Amino acid sequence: MDLSFSPEEEAFRQEVRAWIAQNMPPHLKAKAEQAAHFEMPEVMEWHELLYAKGWVAPHWPKEFGGPGFSATQRFILGEELELAGTPPLSPFGLVMVAPLIMRFGSDAQRQRFLPKILSGEEVWCQGYSEPNAGSDLASLRTMAVDAGDHFVVTGQKTWTTYAQYADWIFCLVRTSTEGKKQQGISFLLIDMKTPGVEVKPMQTLGDTPAFCDTFFDNAKVPKENLLGPLNGGWNLAKALLGHERTLVAAVGQTRRNLRLAKRLAAHHLGANGKPLLEDPHFRSKLARLEMRLRAHQMTNYRALAEQQKGHHPGPESSILKLVGSMLVQEADELCMELMGQSSLAWHDDEAVEPFERWVPPTFCYDRATTIYAGSNEIQKNIIAKLILGMPGA
Amino acid sequence: MNFDLSDDQKMLAKTVADFGKKESTVERFRKLRDADGLGFEKATWKKMGELGWLAIPFPEEVGGLGGSFVDAGIVLEQLGKTLVPEPYLSSVVLGGHALWLGGSPAQHEKLLAPMMEGDTILALAFAERNVRFDPRCCATTARREGDAWVISGQKAFVLDGHAADHLVVAAMSDQGMQLFVVDAAACERKTVRLMDGHRAAHVTLRDVSVGEDRRLTARPAVEVLERVLDFGAAGAVAEGLGVAFAMLWTTVEYLKTREQFDVKIGTFQALQHRTVDMFVEVELLKSIHTESVVRASEEGPERTRAISAAKLQLAQGGQLVSRQAIQLHGGVGVTDEHDIGLWFKRMHTLVTICGDESAHVARYAATMDAS
Ligand SMILES: Cc1cc2nc3c(=O)[nH]c(=O)nc-3n(C[C@H](O)[C@H](O)[C@H](O)COP(=O)(O)OP(=O)(O)OC[C@H]3O[C@@H](n4cnc5c(N)ncnc54)[C@H](O)[C@@H]3O)c2cc1C
């Protein structure tokens, strides 16, 4: 057993750190410094810089333009980016649909889509959930009717994150109503500019327009945009879920949150006039969170070591999602408590310090972390069934 | 022991509840939140004055209705259910109780009576920037100049201070802490939008001069503040009980209607147990809330203990309810369109003001009996 990183890995960490320090534009650094929310144009600006460096898709194989990193290198890069507070890249193209296109797509589809995902020229969003198909995704009803050389798609997707910025959407659609629900689902790639596709942004609890209703009204989608076999979409969806869950382990995000909490604790004074960071009560609260995070981080490393050996993420990835999302929320809650009355301010630059402004909206929005990417209840069902082998589960 | 409300109190609860259902629904709150105005309506405030709600907890000799703080708690609990935005907690409980406890008969008549009528709004300006819930940490100063007092300093997050006519301001003089009733117009005020849709003010006092007749001298200022903040904490718990109640039953209703996997999601035992956890916390909150409003008018350690215990229950139990209510709604719970989020945000305010969890646990621990 050896829990340390190798000298080469440590050297790589230093290289990444130095590169970020030199190449992250000052206005993005300023926002990171204030723990601010990045707008989509800023995310894409950063995407282009990483693309130019060859680091935008660390998990992609070399043949598709990836850097050929080991699992550990990928992890180190991800961790350093998160710690530096760089804009989180949109995952829908790079992390979600691209691996499916590599695995299930035709050569023509690979050539058509992958380069533009890599360069950031085309932005993607995910069209799975519907008003009546959330946890029970297989009961989705958006219909794709065969019309010769194309499908005609009609229905509604919901909670589509950043659909208003997307050029393409990958959708689960119903192509058959026969047999089991799961058997009649196909995986379609749809151009957002298709006539009949309409996007309506909605405000979240954080007062940001982060998700949308996406409507399809007789939208014509060419058949070459079917990914994988007709009525075989469910298998693609399942392959994607494992990736999505490792994404939300959120170790870097929680560590950054913890750092923010310490900064807040140094800034706010307790009843004795001393910073809360020196108050044993708040210090032990911070310590507890850091200690729990350590256990989570080690769990993440264990999963990583498995991947290094070539194993695909299995049901254990549910643990990472479960714990990661809860720790994100605990860190937000602690930040709010440390801010005291200042935590009541809402999107107000003057009432609080600039670095505090995004704490309350983030606290609100992050209630979503235990809901999206498979709610925590669903994760527990998965663990009960697939790991513990519970009867009837 | 008797936990029952009197017939009059039941009537009061019903009247306020009906007002919430018919005249001040969550929809009304949402509209006022999103509009540019005060966040509430002065006409509705006046109406509450006419109904007597603003005078309820004050004794008859100061022009009140001679009720008790239990009655104020009844009003607040019902107002919480539909998020009625008028400044009951800030003006009646905080500003009003400061004036009542600290003021002279002349001050009661001139400054408290119009508020009870719904003609004016009072706010309490004690908090300062980056200082936690200790009113004794006060950098605002008051110095004597002839017959007048000159006050300088800054107050932060004065709840409903943006709409107040008078502010009860805490300031440090060479004789210790003092409370003054200052005309809001004499101060610089900047409106701060709060997470829960209410507003507050950041107030700057630049050599604001007030007469001796505006100093509250009936009791030592620190004592007044401590008692008022206890009333505020008990009031926040009362309103929070209404908020928690509304979230619990909205969620239970949702679980009975929302279907996934071809069944109502309320059939999943994991979710049933979660709603049971919420229900149990609301029951605990109701019990300790009752003790805290009863004891709010008492002197001595049992008052502070009961109120701190209630505030802890709001922080733990109330927030368990508000967090799980969102969770059990799934995606729709994270939209601004759904009411759940509005209650969730109000709960955070109520948990935070007048001493948060840590402050109340520390206070309780400091006075806890050794055996
Ligand atoms: C901020 C945000 C962004 C999102 N982005 C996207 C996106 O880009 N694309 C997309 O397709 N979707 C997206 N989603 C949707 C998300 O995947 C769904 O919200 C999620 O799957 C839950 O579905 P639902 O909202 O319909 O809740 P429901 O499935 O109705 O669940 C309601 C409650 O019941 C519980 N529950 C349901 N079934 C069970 C069960 N069998 N056992 C125990 N408990 C159960 C759930 O855990 C939840 O607490 C997003 C959601 C959010 C909040």
Q: Where are the beta strands (DSSP E) in chain A?
A: 124-127, 143-146, 150-161, 168-174, 185-191, 197-202, 211-222, 226-227
Domain match, A257 and A380 both: yes
Q: How much is the pLDDT for A244?
A: 64
Using a cut of 0.90, tell me whether the model's pTM lies above it. Answer: yes
Q: Which tens digit of pLDDT belongs to each residue from A115-142?
A: 999 999 999 999 999 999 999 999 999 9
Q: Report which of A266, A169, A267 is spatially closest to residue A219, judged by C-alpha positions.
A: A169
User: pLDDT averaged over chain B?
Assistant: 96
| Stronger pLDDT, A4 or B202, i.e. the higher one | B202
Contact (CB<8Å) B192/A348 = yes
Question: Over 70: is that where the pLDDT of A247 sits?
Answer: no
Q: Is residue B320 less than 8 Å (CB to CB) from chain A?
A: no
Q: Are A167 and A124 in contact (CB under 8 A)?
A: yes
Instruction: Output Rg (C-alpha) for chain B, integer angstroms.
Output: 21
Q: Where among B121, B140, B156 does a domain terminate?
A: B121
Q: Which residues line ligand 1 (CB under 6 A)?
A: A 125-129, 134-135, 159-161, 211, 368, 371-372, 375, 377-378, 381; B 258, 260-261, 265, 268, 270-271, 327-328, 330-331, 334
Question: Predicted confidence band at B287 (pLDDT cuts at 50, 70, 90)?
Answer: very high
Per the structure, the count of domains in chain B is 3
Domain match, B143 and B113 both: no
Domain match, A365 and A256 both: yes
* Residue of chain B minimizing CA distance to A267: B130
Question: Over 90: is that where the pLDDT of B124 sits?
Answer: yes
Q: Where among A222, A239, A256 does a domain terminate?
A: A239
CATH number for B82 = 1.10.540.10
In whole angstroms, what is the distance from residue B357 CA to residue A175 CA?
A: 54
Q: Would you say residue A13 lies in a domain?
A: yes
Domain match, A307 and A367 both: yes
CATH number for B343 = 1.20.140.10
Question: What DSSP string describes A33-97?
Answer: HTTPPPPHHHHHHHHHHHHHHT-S-TTS-GGGT-----HHHHHHHHHHHHHHTPPPPPHIIIIII
Question: Predicted confidence band at A59 (pLDDT cuts at 50, 70, 90)?
Answer: confident
Q: Which tens digit of pLDDT belongs to each residue from A185-239?
A: 999 999 999 999 999 999 999 999 999 999 999 999 999 999 999 999 999 998 8
Q: Would you say residue B115 lies in a domain?
A: yes
Q: How much is the pLDDT for A137?
A: 96
Domain match, A382 and A268 both: yes
Per the structure, the count of domains in chain A is 3
Q: Which tens digit of pLDDT belongs to each residue from B26-72?
A: 999 999 999 999 999 999 999 999 999 999 999 999 999 999 999 99
Interior angle at CA A267, CA A266 and CA A272, nearest 5 = 80
Question: Over 80: is that where the pLDDT of A289 sits?
Answer: yes
Domain match, B357 and B261 both: yes
Contact (CB<8Å) B330/A346 = no
- State how far the alpha carbon of B107 is from the alpha carbons of A145, B102, B112, B132, B167, in Å: 77, 9, 7, 30, 13
Spatial CB neighbours of A292, under 8 Å, sequence gap ≥ 6: A327, A330
The ipTM of this complex is 0.96
Domain match, B209 and B245 both: no
Q: Which tens digit of pLDDT belongs to each residue from A17-35?
A: 999 999 999 999 999 988 8
| Stronger pLDDT, B248 or A251, i.e. the higher one | B248
Q: Where are the beta strands (DSSP E) in chain B?
A: 122-125, 141-145, 148-159, 166-173, 176-183, 188-193, 199-211, 259-260, 263-264
Q: Which tens digit of pLDDT belongs to each residue from A62-84?
A: 999 999 898 889 888 988 998 89
Q: How much is the pLDDT for A238?
A: 87
Q: Would you say residue A186 lies in a domain?
A: yes
Average pLDDT over residues A244-266: 83
* Spacing of C-alpha B312 from chain mean position: 15
Q: How much is the pLDDT for A246?
A: 60
- The token pair at B207 is 């050599």
Spatial CB neighbours of B83, under 8 Å, sequence gap ≥ 6: B26, B29, B197, B243, B342, B343, B346
Q: How much is the pLDDT for A241?
A: 76
Place of tokens 């704490």: A359
Residue B259: its chain A contacts at CB < 8 A?
132
| Stronger pLDDT, A147 or A349, i.e. the higher one | A147
Q: Would you say residue B285 lies in a domain?
A: yes
Question: Over 80: is that where the pLDDT of A245 sits?
Answer: no
In whole angstroms, what is the distance from residue B80 CA to residue B49 CA?
A: 18
Interior angle at CA B186, CA B170 and CA B222, nearest 5 = 10
Domain match, B15 and B88 both: yes
Domain limits for position B27:
7-121
Domain match, B255 and B206 both: no
Residue A372: its chain B contacts at CB < 8 A?
331
In whole angstroms, what is the distance from residue A157 CA to residue A159 CA?
A: 7
Domain match, B112 and B133 both: no
- The token pair at A343 is 């935590």
Strand partners, B264: B259
In whole angstroms, what is the distance from residue A287 CA to residue A163 CA?
A: 39
Mutate to test the interface with B, among A205, A279, A349 (most CBs of B within 10 A): A205
CATH number for A141 = 2.40.110.10
Domain match, A268 and A382 both: yes
Question: Over 70: is that where the pLDDT of A381 sits?
Answer: yes
Instruction: Output Rg (C-alpha) for chain A, integer angstroms.
Output: 22
Domain limits for position A290:
248-386
Q: How much is the pLDDT for A3?
A: 78
- Give the number of the atom of ligand 1 that is nearest the alpha carbon of residue A92: 8
Q: How much is the pLDDT for A139?
A: 97
Domain match, A44 and A134 both: no
| Stronger pLDDT, B164 or A2, i.e. the higher one | B164
Q: How much is the pLDDT for A77?
A: 93
In whole angstroms, what is the distance from residue A266 CA to residue A286 CA?
A: 12
Question: Predicted confidence band at A317 (pLDDT cuts at 50, 70, 90)?
Answer: confident
Percent of all residues in chain A with a pLDDT value above 70, rounded to a whole number: 98
Average pLDDT over residues B102-126: 98
